[in-house]
Structure 1
Amino acid sequence: MSNELLFFGGFLLFIVLMLAIDLGLFSKSDKPVSLTQAAIMSAVWVTFALAFYVVLRIWGHELHDVHDFGRLAEITKKHLHNIRLIPDDFAASLAIYKNNLALEYLTGYVVEYALSVDNIFVMVLVFSSFGVPAKYYHKVLVWGIIGAIVLRFLFIFLGAALIAQFGWILYIFGFFLVYTGINMFMHRSEEEEIDPQNHTVVKFASKYFSVYPNFVGGQFFHREAGKKYITPLFLVLLVIEFTDLIFAVDSIPAIFAVTKDPYIVFFSNIFAILGLRSMFFLLVNIIHKFHYLKTGLSFLLVFIGAKMLLHHWLDEWGFTTSHSLIVIVSILAISVIASLVFPRKAKVE
């Protein structure tokens, strides 16, 4: 078995183990997640994500079995890493490669984590619109994240295959992100609404399944008089999955603007998704205070899309992954600080 499979397999095993522990410790209790628990969970996942950055800095070459200069040059070209290798110094070139690989992962993680905040706005709206009791939020989010991991895996490696086969698809991704960013900016002040009865997912599920009219504890399915029903809680799970699918259309191309290595895209995506659940419980009651965040995210998408469209020129100008990370963090920091310094005025009834 190659080091590549061992590296990726080890990562998947770790994720499965952590999700199993999460489900075993928290989902059976059906109690609301406290602010303290959310803070601890968030700290744990951020620590894991940063620890993985260190892993890539030290052992990143094992991901693609890079043990000689020829293999290093091949992988660098294949994944379009914006680095300059030193032909006469394999050790120095390898250090440059591992540093860039880790930085691409960290930048992708920050981008995905930031875009996940917009997802939280919608999740809060979904839970409130469907009247889900707070004690069931965690269960829905955990199972939603498991589904999201599978979908992201398929999306990411399909996207990587398309990029490898059709390089011009990067420009389509770029135009799409610029359009999405501009559209988000134009509608940044609009209040989103969800009609549970007329939601696309609800209509589809109701057409093919029997839906029980009420919540049945924390159950997704219910049997009564010999007939099996899906519960409203399962409908909420389907809506959450559908929502993540829509957000993935934005976020995955955004990370491909940072790195073309599908493994790095997957690693950064998954760590951000796993941290999304705990971040939800941290921000659920204060998310409305960050009213400039949508503006910041719109600028972020436009920047990433423009970077994808202009990557050849930016590479020639010496625009590196480090510069991207600085711009991304600056946009996010400015939007958060502006939200706190210039709070939204209360609406006059």
Structure 2
Amino acid sequence: MTVSPLVWTLTVALILGMLVYDFVFHARKPHVPTMRESAIWSAAYVGIALVFGLVVLALWGGDFAGQYYAGYITEKALSVDNLFVFLIILATFRVPRQYQEEVLLFGIAFSLIARTGLIFVGAGLINQFAWVFYIFAVILLATAGSTLKEALKGDEEEEGDSRFIKLIRRIFHTSDEYDGNKLFTHLNGRRVMTPMLLVMIAIGGTDLLFALDSIPAIFGLTQEVYLVFTAVAFSLLGLKQLYFLIDGLLDRLIYLSYGLSAILGFIAVKLFLHALHENNLPFINGGEHVTVFEITTSLSLSVIIGILVVTVLASLYSPRGRAMSVVSATEMLSERYLQLPADATDSQRDAISRKLARQLQRMPRISDSLKDELISDRRHYMELLHEVHGEHLDYLSARQSSDDTSSAESAELERRKTAFSDIVNPAAESVGSAEESVGSTAPEGSSEGRPQHH
């Protein structure tokens, strides 16, 4: 595959232009992207990536286009796995939702720079030493095993509070409070780091770890540097929009780790077979090439797509997946409601409370065994439901007592209070014991006795 300097220049200019546009027109105006905005831009980025594959098809043929698509799909799937860790980091540092765009965009830019360097290093090693394929295969097998082990144990990575961050907090002066989106602020007359800078350091460190896994994976699908670079770049672009689009869906992909483990294992086998085919190690077949079956690009693409389809369908439609959807969505909406600012509009509160009510209605249908498996601390979870319950009743009562509220509107608000309580109480009782639920329920319209949310 021959790629002219002009094509390289135009491609890099396109990718950088998309990144700069995203930063200037989106991240520099801190806001929480709507579902519609995220969906439109996610579709646009995916569309550009798919159209680019057609350009590869037209200029270099079907085999190279297949390699690009296989690489892009694999890297996109691995990037979704990155989002799980990003979600943990953003939650650990309690990044205000309106500033999460900027943090994610920094992570994407840092990842693109780091992976570009690793791509050219990897390509140089492959061109000089064919045995590097054996090393890549071992790395991917180890990663696949580690991913599967974590999935079976249900481990979550707490990267946000890593030893590295703790060390930085000890060495440098840091603040516990955000100052908008500033990286530094002044505290008691001293210049200190804000949590915004610390979370970017955590994101950057995590990106480096993921890059060490993803680069060997794509080199197992294509050794063309141009295709590797573009597949990685296009998979990263649009990751920010994808985060906000599937924010509530991430926890539902409960079998994604199994699927990624299978994909990485498959690519490791493909790499090992290719290494045997290109073998020049003297202690293997006397340094001669080994005649083995080589996995074709079309077969790779089919296997990767097939694994992802099965993984997503199993996650979304299995009983455990549906239960996880309710549990995670309920927790997310409760936290989001409690984090609303004091000047939040009625429409914002009403929208979240309606979505929350729909999820809570499904909670009693989940079996106790699944609740035990999916909710790590049922009592804390139950208290969270009571807290959001009391908070919403306080809000509705405040609207009732307003001078602008008519008698008809007051009656409607009272009906809504009763309806919300009739939904929350059975859900809370199904999470904890009936005795605990009754004992910790706050009186309607009062926050007394409710646990404070932090």
**Normalised by the shorter chain, which TM-score bucket?**
0.7 to 0.9
Counterparts in 2 of 1:292 and 1:212: CA distance versus 1, 3 Å: same
Find the residue that maps to 1:32 and give its secondary structure. Answer: coil
Q: Which runs of 5+ in 1 are unaligned?
A: 61-97
| 8 Å CA contact retained: 2:45, 2:237 | yes
Alignment of 1:12-51 (within 5 A): 12-51=12-51
1:192 aligns with 2:168: no
Alignment of 1:280-291 (within 5 A): 280-291=243-254
Counterparts in 2 of 1:299 and 1:196: CA distance versus 1, 3 Å: closer
Find the residue that maps to 1:188 and give its secondary structure. Answer: helix
1:86 maps to none
2:11 maps to 11
Q: Partner letter of residue 201 of structure 1?
A: F
Deviation at 1:213, TM superposition (A): 2.5
Alignment of 1:64-75 (within 5 A): none
Q: Partner letter of residue 16 of structure 1?
A: L
1:301 maps to 264
1:269 maps to 232
1:239 aligns with 2:199: no
Counterparts in 2 of 1:40 and 1:165: CA distance versus 1, 3 Å: same
2:424 maps to none
1:167 aligns with 2:130: yes
Fraction of identical pairs, as percent: 36
Tell me the distance in 2 between the aligned counterparts of 1:339 and 1:23.
Answer: 33
2:176 is aligned, of 213, 222, 225, to 213
| 8 Å CA contact retained: 1:201, 1:238 | no
Tell me whether 158-167 or 224-233 shows the greater mean CA deviation: 224-233
Find the residue that maps to 2:125 and give its secondary structure. Answer: helix
Deviation at 1:227, TM superposition (A): 4.2
Tell me the distance in 1 between the aligned counterparts of 2:79 and 2:190.
Answer: 38
2:398 maps to none
Deviation at 1:283, TM superposition (A): 1.6
Deviation at 1:193, TM superposition (A): 4.5
Deviation at 1:340, TM superposition (A): 1.7
Find the residue that maps to 1:259 and give its secondary structure. Answer: coil
1:146 is aligned, of 102, 109, 113, to 109
Tell me the distance in 2 between the aligned counterparts of 1:296 and 1:209.
Answer: 41
Tell me the distance in 2 between the aligned counterparts of 1:163 and 1:118.
Answer: 27
Find the residue that maps to 1:310 and give its secondary structure. Answer: helix
Deviation at 1:178, TM superposition (A): 1.2
Deviation at 1:207, TM superposition (A): 5.0
Find the residue that maps to 1:219 and give its secondary structure. Answer: coil
Larger relative contact order (CA 8 Å, sep ≥ 6) = 1
Deviation at 1:147, TM superposition (A): 1.2
1:130 aligns with 2:93: yes
1:74 maps to none
**Deviation by residue 1:125-155 (Cα, 9 ceiling, x = unmatched):** 1111111111111111112211111111101
Deviation at 1:53, TM superposition (A): 0.6
2:306 maps to 330
| 8 Å CA contact retained: 1:188, 1:294 | yes
Counterparts in 2 of 1:54 and 1:154: CA distance versus 1, 3 Å: same
Tell me the distance in 2 between the aligned counterparts of 1:3 and 1:185.
Answer: 38
**Deviation by residue 1:152-194 (Cα, 9 ceiling, x = unmatched):** 1101000110111111011111011112112211220423152
Tell me the distance in 1 between the aligned counterparts of 2:13 and 2:314.
Answer: 41
Tell me the distance in 2 between the aligned counterparts of 1:225 and 1:332.
Answer: 52
1:347 aligns with 2:371: yes
Q: What is the TM-score normalised by the length of structure 2?
A: 0.65
1:92 maps to none
Q: What is the TM-score normalised by the length of structure 1?
A: 0.83
Tell me whether 310-319 or 169-178 shows the greater mean CA deviation: 310-319
How many residue pairs get matched?
A: 310
**Deviation by residue 1:42-94 (Cα, 9 ceiling, x = unmatched):** 1011011011111112234xxxxxxxxxxxxxxxxxxxxxxxxxxxxxxxxxx
1:69 maps to none
Deviation at 1:112, TM superposition (A): 0.2
**Deviation by residue 1:79-111 (Cα, 9 ceiling, x = unmatched):** xxxxxxxxxxxxxxxxxxx22111111110000
Counterparts in 2 of 1:225 and 1:315: CA distance versus 1, 3 Å: farther
1:99 aligns with 2:62: yes
Find the residue that maps to 1:187 and give its secondary structure. Answer: helix
1:248 aligns with 2:224: no
Counterparts in 2 of 1:236 and 1:340: CA distance versus 1, 3 Å: same
Higher radius of gyration, 1 or 2: 2
| 8 Å CA contact retained: 2:159, 2:202 | no
Tell me the distance in 1 between the aligned counterparts of 2:10 and 2:291.
Answer: 33
Alignment of 1:75-90 (within 5 A): none
Counterparts in 2 of 1:228 and 1:180: CA distance versus 1, 3 Å: same
